[in-house]
Amino acid sequence: MNSDASQPLSDGGQRVRRLSLSSMVDVTRKMRFCMRKQWQRLWVLSLWIAAMVALFTWKFLQYKNRSSFLVLGYCVCVTKGAAETLKLNMALILLPVCRNTITWFRSTFLGIVFPFDDNLNLHKVITNH
């Protein structure tokens, strides 16, 4: 048994690799490359999540100031907020699989910002939410 704490641990005769500065730099480079390559996906998902949070908060606060809140409490606020986000998702669920609409959107300025070529994955993300 090795009592020297400065030696790397071994697992079955193989040395366990320590995280060095160069490996952290490699991970950072790979993450930057991935971010540059996937920026449209990340932007669309961020926009979608922000819209859902905003809609939920708006409806929650709207129903918190009504008389039904005194009777039902937070149940009515949460239900109405969830229903509002559900309406958004139901409106968006068919948009990525409408071929003619996607083709038209690609020809507009939105084709630069939104990943319309990745429309089936967006549809899967929305339906699995």
Q: Is residue 47 part of a domain?
A: yes
Please tell me the pTM assigned to this model: 0.57
Residue 82 CA to chain centroid, in angstroms? 18
pLDDT of amino acid 51? 94
What is the DSSP code (8-state) at residue 117?
G
Q: Is residue 57 part of a domain?
A: yes
Q: Please tell me the distance from the alpha carbon of residue 44 to that of residue 107, in angstroms, as a whole number.
A: 18
First to last CA, the chain: 51
pLDDT of amino acid 23? 73
Q: Is residue 29 part of a domain?
A: no
Average pLDDT, the chain: 77
Q: Is residue 78 part of a domain?
A: yes
Q: Is residue 110 part of a domain?
A: yes
51-85 pLDDT tens trace: 999 999 999 999 888 888 888 889 888 999 999 99
79-99 CB burial, b ≥16 within 10 A, e <16: ebbeebbeebeeeeeeebeee
Q: Is residue 30 part of a domain?
A: no
Q: Is residue 79 part of a domain?
A: yes
**Number of structural domains found in the chain:** 1
CA separation (Å) from 50 to 46, 64, 85, 98?
A: 6, 21, 11, 24
Task: Give the domain range for residue 93.
Answer: 39-128
Q: Is residue 43 part of a domain?
A: yes
